[in-house]
Amino acid sequence: MSHFCCSQQPKFDGVSDGYRRVLWIVIGINLTMFVVELTAGGLAGSQALQADALDFLGDSLTYGLSLFVIGMSLRARANAALFKGVTLGLMGLWIFGSTAYEVLVLRVPDAPVMGAIGALALIANLICVFLLMRYRDGDANVRSVWLCSRNDAIGNVAVMGAGAAVFMTGTAWPDLIVAALMAALFTWSALQIIRQALEERRESVQTVAAE
């Protein structure tokens, strides 16, 4: 995305009826999959599925925040992105902690359920990624939506892989490793969002000072 950063054109700020419609569709998909994965993860005893379900819920809330701040000042949008980045980072820390707990009470998850629900979640997230593809370059608020959707798709592939590994090994370790890797991905994305949001906040302050 270096070409975008080097250009003099302003970053897309989400002010578009088409973008708003896409966000509403993506929110509906994420809320539905949150309920499905949380239920299936509990029944299957899968930490990876439950971690992914939490991500669906977090995405739904942050996408709603993205909708709310569209059209507001750069500072307001940057603050919203900063909040989303911090929230995503906390989610990663929560997954790290819960994964450590599961290590102490190892219970082999239901591999077939993990694979089936992981495949369903992957389809849902690929639809979201396809819808958001054209909006992946934008300000911190817009970009955070893209990063969350991309992480979801990666996470679903990882959950399916964990399900296969659990089936072959008969242990819970693959599920726990995937949950930890997903947490690391969330944390890295959070740092990217926070960095861009802070830059845009500084930009907004400089703009106000110049006026």
Tens-digit pLDDT profile for residues 103-128? 555 555 666 776 777 788 889 888 98
Q: Is residue 59 part of a domain?
A: yes
Q: Largest Cα–Cα distance in the chain?
A: 65
pTM for this structure?
A: 0.66
- Domain assignment of residue 54, given as a range: 15-210
Give the Cβ contact number of residue 152 at 10 Å: 25
Residue 211 or 173, more confident: 173
Residue 43 lies in a domain: yes
Both structure tokens of 19: 């973008």
Q: Output the CA torsion 20→158→177→149 (10° steps).
A: -10
CATH number, position 167: 1.20.1510.10
**Is 62 a domain residue?**
yes
- Between CA 131 and CA 117 the distance in angstroms is 21
In this structure, are residues 52 and 158 in contact, taking their beta carbons and an 8 Å threshold? Answer: no
Q: What was the pLDDT predicted at 120?
A: 86
Q: Residue 7: what pLDDT?
A: 43
- Report if residue 7 sits inside a domain: no
Asked whether residue 4 is assigned to any structural domain, the reply reads no
At 63, is the pLDDT very low, low, confident or very high (cuts 50, 70, 90)?
Answer: confident
How confident is the prediction for the chain on average, in pLDDT?
76
Q: What is the mean pLDDT of residues 43-63?
A: 75
156 CB-near residues (< 8 Å, 6+ apart): 52, 118, 119, 121, 122, 125
What was the pLDDT predicted at 3?
41
Question: Has residue 10 been placed in a domain?
Answer: no
Of 24-28, 177-181, 193-197, which range is least confident? 177-181
Q: Report which of residues 206 and 197 the model is more confident about.
A: 197
On whether residue 181 sits in a domain, the answer given is yes
Question: Does 152 map to a domain?
Answer: yes
Type of residue at 9? Q
**Residue 152 exposure: Cα atoms within 13 Å on the Cβ side:** 33
Digit-coded pLDDT (tens) for 133-161: 888 777 777 777 877 787 778 777 776 77
- As for how many domains the chain has, the answer is 1
